[in-house]
Amino acid sequence: MKFPSIKSLLPLLLFILLLSACHPTHFIVGKGAQEKHVTTQQNKFLFLGLVHVGTAPDPKQMSKQATDYTITVKLTFTDVVLNIITLGVYSPLTVRVVH
């Protein structure tokens, strides 16, 4: 059985890499962000998200106790690159809070 060469798979892998950072999840707390103060932290996982490492970012603390804010959880380009380089052993997510 002949396997496809790396050169033939490269465009597909690059396309998948570019699409992987396009899936954000948004949470609106209260009325949502009223100003444009942004705080960003990493949520760290191991083994493709099966094991959580450390403490999760606290959106309430990230928003400095605001009552209205927006939370966005997504894979950034850097998160995807780290995931690929470590073959899924280290799988970070970026948590962004706008308040």
Q: Is the pTM of this model over 0.75?
A: no
User: What ranges do the domains of the chain cover?
Assistant: 6-98
Cα radius of gyration rounded to whole Å, the chain: 17
Q: Which segment of 2-6, 7-11, 29-33 scores lowest on mean pLDDT?
A: 2-6
Of all residues in the chain, what percent carry a pLDDT higher than 70?
92
Nearest CA to 75 among 97, 53, 92? 92
